[in-house]
Structure 1
Amino acid sequence: MFAKAFRVRASTAIKGSDRRKLRTDVAAAFPNLSAEQLTEFIPNKEELNVIKIYTHKGEAVTVFTINKNPILFEIEKALYPTVYTLWAYPDLLPAFSTWPPVLQKLAGGADLMLPGVVVPSSGFPQVERGTLCAVTLLGNRAPVAVGIATMSTAEMLAAGMKGKGFAVLHTYMDHLWEFGDKSYPPTLAPLVTDPAEKDSAEEEEMEGQEPFISCTADPLQHVDIGDLSLKEQDSYARLVGKEELSENRAAETAEDDNTEVQQETEDSRTPQEQMDELFNQCFFHALKYKVKKSDLPLLTSTFLRSHMFSCCPAGQQLDIKKSSYKKFSKFLQSMQHQKILQVKELNKGVESIVEVDWKHPDIKAFLVPEGFSSASVAQESKSEDREQLYHAPEIIPLYGISAKMLPLFQESGHRKGSILSSSEVRNIIINYVKTNELVDETNKNFVKVNAILCDCLLDKSEQDEITNLKWDDLLSRCLERLQPLHQVTFFGQEPVVRKGNIEPISITIAQRSSNKKVTIIKNLELYGLDPQCVANILQQRVQASATITPTPGTKDRVQVQIQGNQVHHLAKMLLEEYQLPRKYIQGLEKAPKLGRKK
């Protein structure tokens, strides 16, 4: 189901009442969880979000995340645990084992066939058709897949372990797993050790290999090849080929590892520890020598790309995913706990550094490493880096169903507060009209107004006069009466849904004393732009003074003010360099008119 990338439609935080309801639903779906485990599973104070997604096949799925890690997904009101949940509760579902090479097929979207299931000496768990089950790898009790049994245990044995055994919904290494922190399965010893598993475990201990990489058991030891169909024989031939290829690759990897060990004898630290050290070095270098008090508040994304990246030594590259923190926000949280700086979410979904303790012992003790070749970077090159690294956010208008509009959407199964895209609203309205046979027989361009359409879409003064509406008028009226929302997705971050329509970047020209003009730019922060960065670039290009001042009537927002009418330069920067859509910029028409060249 998640073998290919899915599309995120909306992401919202769960309220207290919905959190309690979810805990009740989880208790009903997984009755073997204790009360203590339920409270741990759905905690009271952790960040819990519900995310609406569409799979590559167009299926609507609800995903529940804790601290941005998916723990459950819901399809047609049925709850399913993710592998992250099963690693914490490995005995939550009845489990069936398979061989490690099969995992790659499952992650690619294949279902688990019965010839690929290991038959343990203790026998299979007793399950019925339609039971939700976990799939583990031989020698490790940590589940790597979630699937539904297509037949009961008795039917599996009666079929001679042939045919499809489990319809796989989600696996380790698929796109739902990638949506989380991408952690690896733990190594959990089997409760009852099979002879095959015991042999496999012994060989792994001798060779020092992980059970996910090597497979010492013979995948065909429980199955007679002569009993298989041609299709199944072909599948097994490919399975064995995969094993041989894996063994060859393992041998090559071992040789490469030996070479790397010889090369890295000088540094005994792991790559993760080295990356952590590099992040700490660039962090303190940037705070001590790059960031000034006047730069605050400073967007965390700007601090990373414009300050820390420029402090990275030549030949090295910062990569947060290779560190122990995995996310830059967690790295900054660690520094905040040490009281080095303070980070706040000044605008929803956009974090900024608001305070730095430059007297902190760690900052005062930091010295630039000897031989550092990139200690200073020219302002021009920094400006170019900022321009190149900026990615315009993806902005999608959304619509919420209000109480007044609810009767129109009840037939399609939606509730008050449901969030829809414009295309979804259009499809629901078209289906409603066709289902209720409201298309005008004499002119199909018109729709007959029934009682529900009348109450939802017409004003009181219109209700006695209008009996038909044009399709376009019907749809536009519907969108106007729904609650406006918008979804913003910044590069490398999860989508954020906000109320109302997004405010455009506002450009105005103000008159000052002596008939001087100044250009004022507002709302840059809403689009992930650092006002200070924009001011510095403009100041260089037009050779005029630029200042940052608080925006009147707002909290924690600032505006850029630069001398003269600079709308031409702003238009080039915002439209051509930053690739922002023109509809999100207001005031471009105020550019000075160019005189004729003689």
Structure 2
Amino acid sequence: MFKKPFLLKPAAPLRSSDRRKLADQIIDDYQLERPASDAATPEQKAEATARHTVLRNSLLPENLLSARFTTTHGPELKKAAGTVYIGSHKGEDARILWFQMEGGMYPSVYTLWGHPDLVPLLHTHEPVIKKLQGGADLMTPGLANGPPFPPQARKGVVVAIASTDRPSVPVAMGVCAIDVSELQRVQGAKGHAVENMHWVGDELWSWSTNDRPGKPPPEDIEGWARLLAGDGLAEATVDLDLDDGDEEGGVPLGEESSASAVHIEAKRRKDETSRDAPEQADAPEMTQKEIDTAFRNAFTYGVCHHKQTQPNAPNYGLVYPLSQSYVMSNLVQPFLPAFTPEQTQQLQIKKTSWKNIKKFIKSMDKEKTLKSKEKDGHETVITEIDFEAESFRTFKPYRLPKKETTTGTALGRGDKAVETIDTGDDSVGQKLQVLSYYKPTAKLQPLFTTPSTKSQLFTPPEVRELITAYIEREQLVSATNKRLVKLNPTLGNAVFDGTGALDREVLAKGSVPRDALIDRVLHAMSPAYAIQRHGSGDASAVKPKSGAPPKVHVTLETRSGSKTVTRVSGLEAYHVNARLLADELRKVCAGSTSVEALAGAAKKNEREVMEIMVQGPQREAVVKALERRGVSVRWVEVVDKTKKGKGR
């Protein structure tokens, strides 16, 4: 829908009555709350009214703007028109939160991230996600973690789509083309499951009032994770063959012969799994005690796996606190002895005596195996693991089903699970955070001069707080509209100099919306950044540097005719040792690597900037290795010179 730029008319504020009416329409359409009963007391009705107001403001904030748009969609490029609704919550950039067309209201991914359970959540494999981000619809064989699927996922219903790699983070939104909830199987099925309308990376996601890039998806969303854990869906992220999703999901297959080849390959894999698994064709139903034991052993195996594969990393590569979804998807699920589909159906957390991962963690806490605490009153996280506990010291690995490795070779995970790469790299498992700061220019200095502001570097929330304090101190709030700020000579000279059309309009009116003023101030300030490495000391000890945060550069290019190499540089700022990373990539990619100083990259009296060169197109392997070292994909810039344009 929004793969290509769309035409947007000037945005205008929405009247409060229209905003409330629109919010009530969304609440009714998406069935977000139940009406108060007639028998409710006045106090209960007052509480319900207060909750309703909070829900309205969270869906459509008070600073909401609306604008008409036109675009094209579909293979025939049909014209489409509608309305977008732009707004921001406290401390965030203004983004498109909803769009309306043909009588329907559709949430953007920014709204989905802040409102868990707004719509049913479907899952697919990561290779299919990449096809969705190219504009393809989600095909029925591309569906994962089911059946069963959410009962609300019926034809015409809006759904969110997440990757099985990050099951709690929706990255696309669409409308069901069929009754997904009625599907009994997906392998071998044909046809469209979800009509893709909007995704992370499209023009709707990229749009902002200040030309800033789109906000990258979070690593984990606690609200969605809680819902998945509570519904028993998080544990359904099993070790499925990604080949099936890559071949059959995302886009329709072109020829029948291709489909036949996929089915032959799937049958071959199934036969191999049957040969490798114990003779359990007629295995009896597992008792609850056996299922409980399997989950305990799986968690123990997961912790021991980290101890043996990352012996030199802090906490063996585990970064506290460990969320419920992380524990399930990384420390339990990969180590369950599920050799057959029947065993997979039995080995689910909802069939244990704990019923959910939260109670499972608490039971381990009572046994003194680990320490946990409540977070935000909803989720239980692990704050510490006793690696010397008896269960870990006496544990003996058992055989597990096969799983595809990064090199494409099937390795048994039991006794061979500990034979993964051990580089002795202390950056593996580190937790990094990029902190953004802003420094006032000479013109803006009068707005930040108070007895309490000794620093000259401020975070975005601090800038907002200081500007708000200045507005209140100077009594600049409009008497008729509290969202408007009256201009005084200082604001007129420091922020709006009259050079642009917007400046002249604001100066003529003598007032400006508060959010527009704060955005303008931030845009006029000088940026700075600091990269904090958790566990390396106090955050205040990290000295900020001017400019925008650096990127790790990954470049694919062709050399010596048709040979492709992958170059990686810019690792030093993120505390990654280039030589140790090169050693890992050499083993993972099964190819030669080299490390040399990047000529001209380092200034005088600075340490050398090293560059890794890996044989072959190894983009995905490099990104995964960086993520293991805490380097998020949003801090990585990939340029593919073997094709036209950029890769990421």
> TM-score interval w.r.t. the shorter chain?
0.3 to 0.5
Larger Rg: 1
TM-score, L = length of structure 2: 0.37
